Every structure is written in C-alpha cells, then in structure tokens.
Amino acid sequence: MRKFTLSCLAIIISLIFGALILWLMGKDPVAAYMNLLQGSGLMEKAKYAARQNMFTDFMSFIDALTPMIFASLAVALALKGGFFNIGVSGQMLFAGFCAHMAAMFIPSKIVVVIVGFIGGALIGALIGWLKCRFNVNEVVSSIMLNSILMYLITFYINTFYVNPVSRQSKAISEAARLTLSRFRWEGLRIDIALAFPLAIIMALLLHWFIQRTTYGYEIKASGLSPQAAYYAGMNVQRTALMTMTLSGALAGLAGVSYFCGYLASIQPGVVPSMGFDAIAVSLLGGNNPLGCVLASFLITVISKGSIYMSSSQNIEQEIASLITAFILTFAACSAIFAKKGRK
C-alpha cells in the first residue's frame, strides 16, 4: 500500500512539473491534460471524423495498451528474480519478426502468438544462459543483443522483405493479424485488440504464479538473495534461467501484439522504445503484475493521448516522453522513502 502511495506521489509531482513546463510555454496545462484523456477515448472530443466516436478512440487506446501490459509484465517478472531485463525491445523485435516470417507460410493468429512466445523466450533464455554459464552481466548482454537483432532484422527487411512505398517491412496478412483493423459495427470502424484479454489473463496468472506457487517463491527468493536461496537448497541457476525465459516469452507476446497487432509491419532501423518505457511502467507499478496493468494504463494515456494533444495545442509531441521520464525519475527517487518506511 505504501508503494502505491509513493507511485501516486511520483505521478502527481511529475504531472505538476509537466504542467509547469506547459505553462512556461504559454499553453493551458489543464486543456492539454484534458486532450490527453480525449485522445485516449476517455473523454468526449469536440468533434469526430466520420465513423468515429469516443468508443472507437477508446478501442484503439486498448490496442496500444495491450503490448505495453505484456512488456511491463516481462520487466516486472525479471526484476522479481533479480534481473534487469533491458532487452525487452530486442525480444519484442525478434518475436515480431519471427511471427511475420511464420505468418507468410501459415497465416493464422494462433501461430503468430505461439511463434512470438517461443521467439521471445529463446532470446530471454540466451541472456539467462550467458549469465549463469559465463557470468556475463545481463544488462550489457541484453543491450548488445538489442543492437545485434536490430541490425540483423533491418538488414533482412531492407534486402528481402521491404515494402518499397512505405520503406517499412511488408504488412502481415489480415488473417494473421492480432488486431481486427477497422472492424465495421453499428456504422463505426473499430480496431479490436484480440490479444487484450490474453494480456489481462497473463497479468492475473503471473500474480498467482509469483504469490502462490513454489516456482514463484523460488524466483522471489533468488531475486532477494541468491546466496540465501542457494543455502536453502534451491537451484538458483535453473531459477535464473527460467525467470529470464519466461520474461523473454512475455516480451515476445508484447512483440507480436505490437508488430502483428497494433502495427501491421516492422519499421527497420529502430529498436521499439516500448521496451524501455516498460521499465518505467514496471517500476511505477511496484513490480506487481496488477500494478503493471494500472501503470500501463496511465503511461499509455500519456503516450497515446499526446498525439491529439500535440495537434490540438500545437505542442511538440516529445513532451509526452518528457513527462514519462519525469515520472520515472521520481519513482526511482522514491526508493529512499520506501526504505525508511520499512525500518
């Protein structure tokens, strides 16, 4: 509960900070923040384009939210086990890429999910294996893997799989895409994120897994103190490997729901920034799976709503990531208060 209060405090301070900047720029902070909510479909906009209303906005917000939940769960699980999975971006990219390749042969949604799950897990397992077997710092190895995978996939896309018009990868077929794009219903066009229920189930499942099972207990114990876990007779190495594999698998799900759902194609040359934002989200959510869902909701409101805010207020869209960065900074600072409370 204390963590929850601290997270809220960090959010409030950051929002005040952001408001201050907006005010200094000569904009109206209240209107800007309302734009964030309107852009996410949580408040009524002044006017809508044809076949759109608040509900369609909200559904595309959910579409953006889904990969964020998976990604933050991946970070949270790894942190529980004492690992800092900064490689979520690379795992997402790899999983998305594998799913794209698989969908070329078997255009099916289930195949996409399974391939993404396995693809992410493989990269996660590789990082865990390097850590256990060779004592390679997982932060450095994941960052190296991020770059390696990004360049490899960029090379492949640019050489064999490019859409010459958009300069992106070719789009995944609609039969395999995890988002029903522009689905017609009651005269509206809605984007339906099919993976969203899976994200919620995963969050609940992970909560149960960490709190109620032996494996979860071992992960927590190894994360808090590997030595103590070792003396208690746990197989710390195996636990570490399992933690990173599962974390990678979750990141893989984030990857497919992002690259084969929210987006239909992969942009070459960039690592998705969602993997890094997910660290923020997970910290904010206190590394608790359910907290992650709440925090994902908030951060997605900021990032998704910022598009509408920047167009209607004529503000640089970058301010959204600045506010996210503030939230993260204050959340990191709040560690000292959390520790004081425990004593």
Tokens standing for residue 256: 């497919």
Q: Residue 297 Cβ, how far from another protein at the closest point, in Å?
A: 19
- Tell how far CA 149 is from the center of its chain: 18
Q: Residue 152 Cβ, how far from another protein at the closest point, in Å?
A: 6
Q: Distance (Å, rounded) from C-alpha 298 to C-alpha 12?
A: 12
Closest to another protein by CB, 163 or 213: 163
Closest to another protein by CB, 108 or 312: 312
Number of CB atoms found within 10 A of residue 327's CB: 27
Q: Residue 279 Cβ, how far from another protein at the closest point, in Å?
A: 6
Closest to another protein by CB, 137 or 163: 137
Residue 195 CB partners (closer than 8 Å, separation 6+): 66, 70, 113, 178, 179, 253, 256, 257, 261
For every residue of 258-277, which 3-state class applies, written as one string?
HHHHHCCCCCCCCCCCHHHH
Q: Residue 136 Cβ, how far from another protein at the closest point, in Å?
A: 5
Q: Residue 160 Cβ, how far from another protein at the closest point, in Å?
A: 10
Q: Residue 5 Cβ, how far from another protein at the closest point, in Å?
A: 17
The three-state secondary structure class of 82 is coil
Closest to another protein by CB, 12 or 325: 325
Alpha helix positions (H), 25-108: 29-39, 54-80, 88-105
Q: What is the DSSP string of 149-167?
A: HHHHHHHHHHHHSEETTTT
Closest to another protein by CB, 132 or 194: 132
Q: Residue 331 Cβ, how far from another protein at the closest point, in Å?
A: 8
Closest to another protein by CB, 31 or 333: 333
**Contact residues: another protein, CB under 8 A:** 25, 84, 86, 130, 134-137, 139-141, 143-148, 151-152, 154-155, 158-159, 276-277, 279-280, 283, 316, 318-319, 321-322, 324-326, 328-329, 332-333, 335-336, 339
Closest to another protein by CB, 140 or 175: 140
Residue 290 CB partners (closer than 8 Å, separation 6+): 203, 204, 207
Q: Distance (Å, rounded) from C-alpha 128 to C-alpha 145?
A: 12
